[in-house]
Amino acid sequence: SSEVLEAIENVILDVLKSLAKKQAPVLTLANRSDWRNIEFKDSVGLQMIPRSTTKKIRSDCPETAMKFALMLKILSMIYKMVQSNSYATKRDIYYSDTLLFGSQSVVDNLINEISCMLKIPRRSLHILSTNRGFVAGNLSYTEEDGTKVNCTCGATAVTVPSNVQGIKNLYSHAKFILIVEKDATFQRLLDDEFCIKSAPCIMITGRGIPDLNTRLLVRKLWDTFQVPIFTLVDADPHGVEIMCIYKYGSMSMSFEAHQLTVPCIKWLGLLPSDIRRLNIQKDVLIPFTKQDDNKLASLQKRPYMAHQPMWKKELEIMAASKMKAEIQVLTSLSSDYLSRVYLPNKLQFRGWI
């Protein structure tokens, strides 16, 4: 707490020094959206380089004055929360003054900027994410307040905890962890009792692009149990990007890569090569859009693809076919094909890359 308070005090001290000299105060931020500031390291993923290029948020410039003011406003809120040992979600911060902030995405971006500027993880700023993720399967743990949680694989899943760092006494004899891209597929596997009928496992979904807590939980499970981690995503550029976020991280959160990425994650399915192998009919596939073309081209240029020749081949198959497939296409073979045939065979015969 004292480290966070001191970091905020140093920012405000610089503002006061500028004012004392009759100069317009300026905040200096690392440029998080510039690929030149990011390097790829196989054991970590995408990480920000130590001497990254910066941008200035000036208080006397019409384009940035509002951002400057909003950053000071959020810094003051964080300071009070850390002092009083209270917490707020990003949503709470937005709803404290919706007219001032304008939108939730503005608040989300400012919090990431502040975290990067102070070089302090977001959870240490007493700001919690609004939880989207679910976890189920062979896992139990104790939450920070002492609540015991058992994620036994019934028909309902447990919400990913809001303070992942605070959970303890994690216990599992899972043989693997399965990250599922979509909530619908996750629920289907729950209904089919996949966790019970297959080897004991833990299933997690971020319900699309994962929030911070879901990524933190995947990392914590890896650190604790060191079991194989597989991803089940749609055979489309969006699904591949989601898998890459879990495995290698994202550009916007590259300053926190060491706490968030799990580079040992494997791609279990749905592989573009599976579509041909399983003789999936063309009428259940979806043609590429211009957006898909652009996303795929961007993925193929990412620095980590040079380290993944098998992934590159799969993306080339996708690019040649100009078609994408959702995991649900497997129901065209049979209603429970995913849980009864596809996943057990993939796991038994090491069908991951």
Domain edges within the chain: 1-128, 134-349
Q: Tokens for 161? A: 């905890």
Return d(Cα 261, Cα 172) in angstroms, integer: 21
Average pLDDT rounded to a whole number, residues 44-63:
83
Fold of 134-349: Dna Topoisomerase Vi A Subunit; Chain: A, domain 2 (3.40.1360)
- The residue type found at 103 is S
Least confident of 81-95, 109-123, 142-156: 142-156
Compute CA distances 145 → 85, 164, 295, whole Å.
14, 12, 42
Average pLDDT rounded to a whole number, residues 88-113:
89
pLDDT bucket at 253, cuts 50 / 70 / 90: confident
Is the pLDDT at 263 greater than 80? The verdict is: yes
Q: What's the pLDDT score for residue 107?
A: 92
Return d(Cα 230, Cα 177) in angstroms, integer: 6
Average pLDDT rounded to a whole number, residues 255-261:
80
Least confident of 26-40, 229-243, 278-292: 26-40
**What is the CATH code of the structural domain delimited by 1-128?**
1.10.10.10
Nearest alpha-carbon partner for 299 in 281, 272, 279, 326: 272
Q: Tokens for 125? A: 């700023």
Return d(Cα 221, Cα 244) in angstroms, integer: 18
Is the pLDDT at 239 greater than 70? The verdict is: yes
Q: What's the pLDDT score for residue 66?
A: 92
> For residue range 129-168, what is the model confidence (pLDDT) as tens digits?
767 899 999 899 998 888 898 888 566 788 888 888 888 9
pLDDT bucket at 41, cuts 50 / 70 / 90: confident
Q: What's the pLDDT score for residue 255?
A: 75
Q: What's the pLDDT score for residue 154?
A: 62
Predicted TM-score (pTM) of this structure? 0.81
Is the pLDDT at 70 greater than 80? The verdict is: yes
| Catalytically active residues, by annotation | 95
